[in-house]
Amino acid sequence: MSTSTAETDRPTPFIMSKDLGRPLDTKTFAIPNTNADGLAAIPLTDEQKYQFDNQGWIVVPSVLGAAEVDEMRTFCQQLSKDPESIPLHERSPAGGPLQQLTDHPVILGFMNEFVAYPPLASPECYGFRMEMTSLHVRESGVGRFGAHNGSGMMRFPGDTHIYRTFPGAAHSGLTCVVWELSDIDPGDGGTLFVSGSHKSAFTAPASLQDPESPLWQTYSCPAGSLLIFSEATTHSGVPWTNAQRDRVAIFTRYNTVCSKWHKWEPHPELLAAMPAKRQTLYRPVYCQDNVV
């Protein structure tokens, strides 16, 4: 069931609140439309929303400019090969120049659409959490195949690898954002996906144990692009094959305010030095009154 708004003529989803089946009053929501650096959120296009809901993953090409990519890749190489040269609290894919990626305007636009819980948001408080981040620098031959996840519509409560849909809206639970800081060409070894598997109702066929199965899909993109996928989507890494350049990628997971899958936390000094709005990415995992 849905209604339409006069402003957009798009369906407004009828979503029940926790009390007595009442609908959530979306008119009272005040999700932030700028990030901690004051940059406006970049909303998804209708095509991007449809593609993510259809596939369970999407690539946004060339989000970062060449100078940004060079600066961040240099920091990543330093973090990987000479971490002692970086202050202890900054030795993280959320440290140094990478901190600004945690709430990048494109990420904010995506999370406001697919992950945020608006009743726990305000103009100065995100409606979602960042729960872990890790750096992957892969030389040729590094990486392995290992298919996992899928069937996000069927998960029990407590398992955050979920995907839910309503007429006019969708919710991705644990969601992975990958900043690709190297060019990814066909056959290089980008992440593999089984499109649509985040909604699958059947057990995956044995053929998925073969990385050459036609059910697997992947992507190519220039350095500075953004890969976003629901962790409910069946996916796998594969060995990196390009001997001319390493794959430098930052894998970051986001989740709803009341859920957490990973144990990672930012260094306390790094967190304390962040702008106040960015700090709300890491607030405690509960719902009651958890709004800044």
The whole-number average pLDDT for the span 21-33 is 81
pLDDT confidence of residue 14: 74
DSSP string, 82-143: -GGGS-GGG-STTSGGGGGGTT-HHHHHHHHHHT--GGG-BTTB-SEEEEEEEEEEE-TT--
Categorize the per-residue pLDDT at 158 as very low, low, confident or very high, splitting at 50, 70 and 90: confident
Are residues 261 and 23 in contact, defined by beta-carbon separation less than 8 angstroms? Answer: no
Categorize the per-residue pLDDT at 16 as very low, low, confident or very high, splitting at 50, 70 and 90: confident
Q: How many residues does the chain have?
A: 292
Categorize the per-residue pLDDT at 11 as very low, low, confident or very high, splitting at 50, 70 and 90: low
Architecture of the CATH domain 43-256+265-282: Sandwich (2.60)
The 10s digit of each residue's pLDDT in 56-107 is 999 999 999 999 999 999 999 999 999 999 999 999 999 999 999 999 999 9
| Number of CB atoms found within 10 A of residue 47's CB | 9
CA-nearest of 212, 196, 218, 184 to 149 is 196
pLDDT at 282 over 60: yes
pLDDT more than 90, % of the chain = 85
pLDDT at 2 over 70: no
Q: Is the dihedral of CA 65, 67, 68, 69 positive or negative?
A: positive
pLDDT at 28 over 90: no
Domain range list for the chain: 43-256+265-282
Distance CA 231, CA 253 (A): 9
Distance CA 244, CA 139 (A): 9
Mean per-residue pLDDT over the chain, rounded: 93
> Using CA atoms in the order 6, 12, 14, 18, what is the torsion angle rounded to 10 degrees?
-110
Tell me how far CA of residue 272 lies from CA of 44, 215, 239, 267, in angstroms: 31, 45, 38, 9
